[in-house]
Structure formats: structure tokens, C-alpha cells
Chain A
Amino acid sequence: MITVDAVTKTYGTFTAVDDVTFTALPGRVTGFLGPNGAGKSTTLRVLVGLTPPDRGSAQVLGRRFKDLPNPGREVGVLLDASAQHAGRTGREVLTIAQRTMALPSARVDDVIDTVALTEDEAGRRLRDYSLGMRQRLGLAHALLGDPEVLILDEPANGLDPAGIRWMRDLLRGYADRGATVLLSSHLLHEIEVVADDLVVIGHGRVVAAGTKADLLAGAGTHAATRSPAALSGALTASEVTHQLVETAGTSGVDHPVVLRVDTDPETVGQVAAAAGIALTELRSADGAGLEEMFLALTADTQRDRHPTTEAAAAAETPSLQGAVA
């Protein structure tokens, strides 16, 4: 259980974290999502007591982090996998933590095994580690005390696809055993697959929070047809709100036009069938829905705007990038 309550942190005139409040529950993986510089890392540093907040408070397992007697045994933290002495071996980094927490020394071998570092890799110095190996070591460091809360900042950075899959399974397993898992990422797909709950942050503010299912349900349905005007009319008659995704060539004669409909696919299918309109495509926006939501919610905080997003934003119609011909 993690509780962040109205945390604000400013640097001079820059507000890195602005009144951020959220909860991460046991047994669930909570994804902390936001573009670069949105305030994710600062929030996590406040959470573990490395950064003093200007206002607000944060609690882990019902206590302030600094009030935990032996924090490593209750909370596994990975903030930056590269933040270790470059001259130490991976095994030595773990041994130091094992001694600090007063764990049996065999535990070091356990976690090295868990994160699938080889004996040879564990004996290498960190300056010779790849980013992926550092992430595995950082994860081993976080898992060492067998904690019931995991706080991980961008843990999938530098992992290969198999490594990401492996990490996802590992975090899922931890949550299924009742652990609270909070992981941050700016990579949407990585979080979409593993998270149960989402907290989306942009410009230091929480812009959306809730279960993944709820947030995705809001993403609606995508329906494509060569008769967009007829479908639009039928939907309006059924009092279903919808938007035209494509702004150019709306006649639909040359190629199908996509409508974003704020309801489930079945309803759209029935409306279309009743009106005798042929759909060329009908699907829930789930697949890329989070990305759309993420881009839409953080459009004004994104550094780099995607051309279609920008065009769509100008027309005030959220677009599914790449889905339109």
C-alpha cells in the first residue's frame, strides 16, 4: 500500500510535482505513466524520502518511509539502475545491501538467480555492465529483502524484448502474491500490458487515474465505413456521441472513414445493422487506446507532437495515429 497525498515540489519557479495524490493498492500493479520530465522520478524520490517535498506527504505501508525500521525488508526500491559505484562488482553491490539488511548471505545468490544474471556477470564490475544487466542487478537489489512493496522507476529501460516479458511476469507474480507494485514508465505498451491501475502524470499533475479497464473503456470504439454520413446520422439518432477521426476526404467514396464512437463495439454494430450500413472495420479502441489517451491527455505537455496528433488536436478530434490511411 502506497499513499501519496498532495505532494508538491518546486525548484525555484519550476514546479516539478504539483499537488500529486494517488494510491497504489496491494495485489495490484500500478503503472505511473508520463512523458519525460513529467515529474515521475521526483514523485518517487519524495516517496522514499530522498527528496523533501515542499508540501504534502507520502506513506508506504501506512508509515512515512523514514519511519520504517529496516526499509529494504519491506520496500524494494529501484530508482536508477546506473546509480551504483562503477568499481564494484554486481555481487558486491548486493552483498552490501544484504549486510545492511542483515539477511542471510545465501539470499544474494537467490536474487542473482532470480534475475538470471550469470555467475560471470555477477562477478564483473558495474562499469562493464550493459544497461540491461544494470536493470537486472537493480531489480535484484530491490527484490533482495523479499519486500511487500516494490517501487521501480523505468525498470524496463534497456531490457531486450525477452527481458521485458520476463520482468512483466516477475512483477505480475509479485502482485499476485499480494505485493504492491508501483512502476513508472514513459513507454505506454510496456505499462499497458502489466498494469492493473494507472496514474497518468503530465506537467507535474495527475491528469488521469483509475483502473486500466475504466480508463480504456473511455476510449470507445473505432468503426470504419464508406458511408460515414449515414452512420453518423444513425448514431446521432441513437444518441451515441461520436467523432470523425479523419478530417480530409470525408465523403467515404474513395476509402473508408473512421469514426470514434463513445460506446462499445456491439452497440455500434447494432446501430449500423439497423440502418443497413456496411462497416469495413469495427473494433474496441483498447489495443492502441491507452496510447491515444496518453497522447491526448498529455498533448499540451508533450515535447514532440506527432504530426497527426497535432492536426487532430487542431480539429479538436483525438486521432488514432497510424490507423487512418
Chain B
Amino acid sequence: MSTHTAPMAVTSRSALPSRTALLPVPVVRLVGVELRKSFDTRSGMWLLASLGLAAVLTTGAIIAWSPAEQLTYSQFTLAIGVPMTIILPIIAVLSVTSEWSQRSGLATFTLVPHRGKVLTAKAVAAVLVTVPATVAAFSVGALGTLAGATLAGIDPVWDQGWADVGYFALGQTLLLLTGFALGALIRNSSGAIVAYMLYGFVAPGLLAFLALNQEWFADARPWVDAKYNQDAILRGALTGDGWSHLAVTSLVWLVVPMVVAVVNVLRSEVK
């Protein structure tokens, strides 16, 4: 680096907006800042790109290997949704944990000493990412349906409605918020990602195995297994009691951890 001993450039105070009229930093502004922070690093850009990339690769795989009768719109959107249930929560996890793992929280929480405000902005920003993700899933899925039908010489099957778009977005949002809560609870990137993987991919397998072998658990499972219900809503397959199951499991596995995490973040020391 060049050594520089020139007299300092005294910047004129008049160049800046008046300090007398300082207003509190609004959450909306912070949402914009947090969205930017999620994607302004190489890893952030790759996570965003991988949403689209995974959608295209999944679509290609379905066209290449699925039998013709399975080339329906829902097959495409649901398959595209699977990698998204990993990538979106990781984006949410990192938006929280990087403040601790990378220690950027020192700057973030001194510029905005209201941690609740920062967390709210992060949560809103993370949820907003489900919008382009949903749009990508349904538009790439539509292209895949058309291409698949053309290649297989059949009529495209449009078995998804607007309600299914909503279910998909809601399911992805719940999983993403689970990742967010784990991030805020653990505040360590690798730890929180591992915890989410256990929640999303290890525990469901074990619980399914238990349900298969223990009849009592097969009945109780919908009241216990959050991921089971979240997968159901992604498929648009929640009916009747299903909504109660979703509400109860979300309260226990999402709302409670989130509250504990937020209280911890508000009280903890940022180092």
C-alpha cells in the first residue's frame, strides 16, 4: 500500500444532510441493506445462482429419466422445490450467523443498536427471497412441462393452480424461517446449517422409520413432526386436521425456538 502523508482531506460538513434532523433508521431501509448483504459476496451470489441452476438441472433430470405419464406440471415444481428447501434456509441461516461468524455484527449493531430491528429486517429480507424462488420454480417448471410433453409426444398436463403457488411459497417460507430461527439460536454458520440438515433431512427419515414400526407413533406423527407437515403443505396436500397439525408443530418447532433465539440475541454480548 502506498504510504500517504499528505494532509488529511477535511471533508465539508455541509456536503451531508443536516444532522439536526436525524431520524431513526427505518426497518424498510434495513430490509434493502440486508438483501444486499445476502448477495454481495461470492458465496451469496453462488447461493442465489444455485437456486436457478438447481431448478434447471432438476428439470433436465426429470425430462431425461421420468416416464411420460409422470411429466406433469406438479412433478416439475415439486422436484424443483426440493433443492430450494436446502438453499433458501441456508441463505436465511447465513444472513444471521455471518454477523457472528464473520464478526460483521460489531459494525451492524453499532450502526443500528436495536437488534430487534436488525433481526426483523433480516427475516423480512430472507422471506422476500422466496418470491423470486417461487417464480423461478413455477416458470422453469412450466418450461419443463412444455419441453417434456413435446419430447414425449404427449399433451402437457397442467395440474397446478394459483393455490398451489401459495402453498409452495408458504411451505418454503416456513422452512426458511426454521433455518432463520436455528441461525439466531446457534449463531454459528456451520453449526446452524448442520442443525437444519438434521431437522430437515435426518430427523424425518428416523421419524418415518419409527412410524413404520410403531403404530402409536404413526398416529401421533402429524402432531409431532414439523417437517412432515411442511412437506405436506409444499405439495398442497394439507386438508382438514392437517392445518391443525401444521399450526401445532410450527408453534413448537418454529415459534418457540424463534422466541428463545430473539431473546438471546437481544441480551447477548456482541464480540
Instruction: Tell me if chain B binds chain A.
Output: yes
Residues in chain A within 8 A of chain B (CB atoms): 45, 48-52, 65-66, 68-75, 77, 79-80, 82-88, 92-93, 95-97, 99-104, 107, 110-111, 113-114, 116-118, 121, 130, 132-133, 136, 141, 143, 145-146, 148, 160, 162-163, 165-166, 169-170, 173, 177
User: Cβ of B244: which chain A residues have Cβ within 8 Å of it?
Assistant: none
| Docked complex Cα distance between A173 and B269 (Å) | 33
A99 close to B36 (CB less than 8 A): yes
Contact with A80, one of B11, B42, B103, B114 (Cβ below 8 angstroms): B103
A66 close to B114 (CB less than 8 A): yes
| Beta-carbon contacts under 8 Å, B1-19 to A | 1-11, 13, 15-17, 19
User: Cβ of B107: which chain A residues have Cβ within 8 Å of it?
Assistant: 77, 83-84, 93, 97, 141
Q: Which residue of A lies closest to B11 (CB)?
A: A110
User: Cβ of A96: which chain B residues have Cβ within 8 Å of it?
Assistant: 33, 36-37, 40
| Beta-carbon contacts under 8 Å, B79-114 to A | 98, 102-107, 109-114
B1 close to A100 (CB less than 8 A): no
B110 close to A50 (CB less than 8 A): yes
| Docked complex Cα distance between A99 and B125 (Å) | 15
Which of B23-31, B149-157, B162-170, B247-255 is found at the contact surface with chain A? B23-31
User: Cβ of A95: which chain B residues have Cβ within 8 Å of it?
Assistant: 36
| Docked complex Cα distance between A130 and B2 (Å) | 12
| Docked complex Cα distance between A65 and B41 (Å) | 30
Chain B, interface residues (CB within 8 Å), range? 35 or more
| Docked complex Cα distance between A95 and B107 (Å) | 13
A100 close to B9 (CB less than 8 A): no
| Docked complex Cα distance between A99 and B44 (Å) | 19
A166-B4 CB under 8 A given contacts A96-B37, A99-B36, A100-B29: yes
A116 close to B4 (CB less than 8 A): yes
B112 close to A162 (CB less than 8 A): no
A121 close to B1 (CB less than 8 A): yes
Residues in chain B within 8 A of chain A (CB atoms): 1-11, 13, 15-17, 19, 22-25, 29-30, 32-33, 36-37, 40-44, 98, 102-107, 109-114, 267, 269-271
CB distance from B39 to the nearest CB of A (A): 11
Q: List 17 A-B contacts (CB under 8 A).
A: A48-B110, A48-B113, A50-B269, A66-B114, A68-B22, A74-B19, A79-B106, A83-B103, A85-B102, A86-B102, A88-B41, A97-B111, A99-B32, A100-B112, A101-B111, A162-B5, A166-B5
A133 close to B270 (CB less than 8 A): no
| Docked complex Cα distance between A92 and B40 (Å) | 8
A84 close to B104 (CB less than 8 A): yes
| Docked complex Cα distance between A284 and B106 (Å) | 43
User: Cβ of A118: which chain B residues have Cβ within 8 Å of it?
Assistant: 1-2
B4 close to A162 (CB less than 8 A): yes
User: Cβ of B11: which chain A residues have Cβ within 8 Å of it?
Assistant: 110-111, 114, 143, 146
B5 close to A71 (CB less than 8 A): no
| Docked complex Cα distance between A174 and B17 (Å) | 19
CB distance from B5 to the nearest CB of A (A): 5
User: Cβ of B19: which chain A residues have Cβ within 8 Å of it?
Assistant: 73-74, 148
B106 close to A50 (CB less than 8 A): yes
User: Cβ of A111: which chain B residues have Cβ within 8 Å of it?
Assistant: 11
A70-B24 CB under 8 A given contacts A100-B112, A101-B111, A162-B4: yes
User: Cβ of A99: which chain B residues have Cβ within 8 Å of it?
Assistant: 29, 32-33, 36
CB distance from B34 to the nearest CB of A (A): 9
| Docked complex Cα distance between A146 and B44 (Å) | 30
A52 close to B269 (CB less than 8 A): yes
Q: Which residue of A lies closest to B109 (CB)?
A: A50
| Docked complex Cα distance between A130 and B1 (Å) | 9
User: Cβ of B44: which chain A residues have Cβ within 8 Å of it?
Assistant: 87
A103 close to B269 (CB less than 8 A): no
User: Cβ of A166: which chain B residues have Cβ within 8 Å of it?
Assistant: 4-6, 8
